[in-house]
Structure 1
Amino acid sequence: MTDTRTFSLSRLPALATVGIFLVVVVAGFAIFAQGFWTPNNASTIVITASVIMIASLGQLLVVISGGFDLSIGGVLPLTAVVYASLTTAGVPMLAAMAVCLAVGIAVGLVHTYFIVHLKINPLITTLATMSITAGLAFTLANGQTLTVPPEAGILGDRAIGTIPWHVILMIVLVVLMHLVLAHTLLGRRIYMVGGNPEAARLAGVRVTVIGGSVYVFSGFFAAVAGIVTASQLLAASGAMGSTITMQSLAAVVLGGAALTGGRGSVPGAVIGVLLLGVIANGMSILHVPSFYQQVVTGLVLLAAVTLSRLQERARRSG
């Protein structure tokens, strides 16, 4: 006789699972957290989650390819500090942004060399670069919080109607990355490399090029997130973004990405980011201390990974 639980698990998509969970969490907070179910609060959730979403796009590409990037937590504060330093020194805003993006891309190229060409473990490499970039951020800021000139905070304080520019930027990047992954040859090859690198190589895919490109993209998106953060806060320091690495990893895993590679999607990452944002926002309204929020986030991530493993086993046995 077929095990009904196994049957349902094997056929329940991860995206549908986290989507249902998101609806349940929203409904729960709407009932118990006064002020949660309002347009203003929904806007707050989206605005707060925008930086995590941008960083998660790069993390998603790396995870699909079979790796992961811990350096986001160092690249974000470094680029934020660089942006603040340059704009305060009178460098034009666009030029400062270009320098920050170049910093992010340079970190991605370093990862390409060590991880793809020298075959050093991604955990060790990106942990090292996270430490280096975070240390550089503190050094450049001299341990202080730097200010960003108001005119350089265009991504944080300008809006089209009621929609902030950085939210529009986030939406554009989300749509573009979804199109790349779902409808382009590059996207298909990223999935191939993550699913089976040797088979991808035999099929003519340049595994080293694809494997390196995702780290470059991740560095780019982390730099964008750093610029947006500095623009929002009109400030930058080496301490900002300390949880962004875990949040980005949690979001893509919650959205159905497999840490073994070959699986994941932009819509899934979006739902994962929204779930984390809703949990943090709802618990703040309920005045739950921040350290309990971290515990809940960890438990949700553990539950998602456990469910993903159960689904994988169910599919294999079915």
Structure 2
Amino acid sequence: MSQAVIESTAPESAADPAIRRQRLVRVLLQFFGMGFFYLLIVVSLSFASPFFLTWTNAANVLTNVTVLGIVALGQSLAIISGGFDLSVGGVLPLGSVLFALFSNAGVSVPVAIALVILIGAIVGLINGLIITKIKISPLIVTLGTLSITAGLAYAVTDGVTVPLTNADAGVLADPAFANVPWYVVSFVVLALASSFLLSATVYGRMLYSVGGNPEASRLAGIRVDLVTISVYVLCGSLAAFAGVVVSNELLAGSATVGSDAALSSITAVVLGGASLSGGVGNMGGTLIGVLILGTMANGLALLHVPSFYQQIVTGTILLIGVSFARLREVLAREEG
């Protein structure tokens, strides 16, 4: 299949000046709108807490958003392709406890990480096959695998935290440079790779095409089912690796940490400008959404706000993000 065919089926072909203007309007609204929103959050929290606007706290924010950021990268791919993945809320804690168990059993760290990522990929493969071959909604499928994987995380640990007994297992938490942990470096590398994959490859253009109009993509020769399956494999793999990061952060495997990853990652992606109907979004916007959520969580913690109130804030931000995304679509359509 030629690149020209792919670009002709994409919802935002660069060959049309009017569509280029629509894309530019969306990007400007996204970055200026979300930038202003983020600035408002920073200013408000700066007045609320004297400890917020410090270099140390800024480093804490960047470190703490790593897990959510890794999950959100995969969620971006799923949403842009026209679906979403709720199972990340179970794959992440399952990956965390399995890494701890593998490491404690004497499996080398690289092999343990590879095994956990493979298990996440298998969960994603199951999601993708059921969605594409049996034609069941991603909501139902990934909700089911969320329940299964979350239950497995509790079952294999009997509901207790599993401390890492292997001294080398927490290597990702070691500083790479300037007290920046290796898992932050890993997140940056994954973010750059995901951005390149989405914006500069034929595969990325196929994702936008499938998310924008799957039937037209199929008629153009794109293997829609294969693309969809690959997206869920990537999403599951990234969620499992995020579980490894959690184990390195805590030096333990936990079946409870990261259970809210599905809601938080979808919120971050939508805040970043993606459309839940598919075909729209980018990694830069997703990272802004992740930063907004991470900063809010950090600020609420500094203000000693109970953690369960953070769920209310996350839900509120999701509603704001969806409303703003709808406004962008309307304005961009009018501009075009």
TM (norm. structure 1) is 0.94
Deviation at 1:11, TM superposition (A): 8.6
Residue 103 of structure 1: aligned partner: 119
Residue type of the partner of 1:64? I
Deviations 1:258-299 (A, max 9, x none): 000001111101000000011111111122222222212211
Summarize the Cα distance change of 1:197–1:101 in structure 2 as closer, same or farther, 3 Å threshold: same
**2:326 corresponds to 1:301:** no
Q: CA offsets per residue over residues 62-95 of structure 1, 9 Å max, x none?
A: 0000000000010011111111111111111111
Q: Take 2:27 and 2:155, find their aligned partners in 1: how far apart are those partners?
A: 51
1:271 pairs, out of 284, 288, 297, with 288
Tell me, yes or no, if the aligned pair for 1:150 and 1:234 is still in contact at 8 Å: no
Counterparts in 2 of 1:250 and 1:11: CA distance versus 1, 3 Å = closer
Match of 1:264, SS? coil
Structure 2 counterpart SS, 1:176: helix
Matched with 2:278 is 261
What is the alpha-carbon distance in structure 1 between the residues aligned to residue 208 and residue 31 of structure 2? 17
Distance 1:10 1:115, change over 3 A: closer
SS of alignment partner, residue 280 of structure 2: coil
Residue 186 of structure 2 corresponds to residue 169 of structure 1: yes
Contact 1:34–1:285 (CA under 8 A) maintained in structure 2: no
Matched, 1:26 2:42: yes
In structure 2, the residue matched to 1:143 is: 159
Distance across 1 between alignment mates of 2:301 and 2:147: 30
Q: What residue number does 2:142 align with? A: 126
1:281 matched to which residue of 2?
Answer: 298
Which amino acid in structure 2 is aligned with residue 114 of structure 1? I
Counterpart of 1:299, as a letter, is T
8 Å Cα contact 1:53/1:273 also seen in 2: yes
State the distance in 1 between where 2:152 and 2:307 align: 27
Question: What is the count of residue pairs matched by the alignment?
Answer: 310
The 3-state SS of whatever aligns with 1:61 is helix
Instruction: Check conservation: 1:61, 1:218, Cα contact below 8 A.
Output: yes
Deviation for aligned residue 1:317: 4.8
Alpha-carbon distance between aligned partners in 1 of 2:146 and 2:29, rounded to the nearest angstrom: 33
Name the SS for the 1:152 alignment partner.
Answer: coil
Inter-partner Cα distance in structure 2 for 1:271 and 1:175: 14
**1:228 and 2:242 matched:** no
Quick one: distance in 2 between partners of 1:10 and 1:177? 21
2:99 aligned partner, one-letter code:
Y
Letter aligned with residue 293 of structure 2 = L
CA apart distance, 1:150? 3.0
| TM-score, normalization by structure 2 | 0.89
Corresponding position of 1:249: 266
Q: Please list the CA deviations of residues 122-169 of structure 1 after superposition, one character each: whole Å capped at 9, or x if unmatched.
A: 000000001001111111111111011331011123432321100000
Write out aligned runs for 1:63-82 (5 A): 63-82=79-98
Letter paired with 1:217: L
> Percent identity between the aligned chains?
46
Unaligned 5+ segments in structure 2 are 1-24
2:274 counterpart letter in structure 1: A
Moved more, 37-46 or 202-211: 202-211
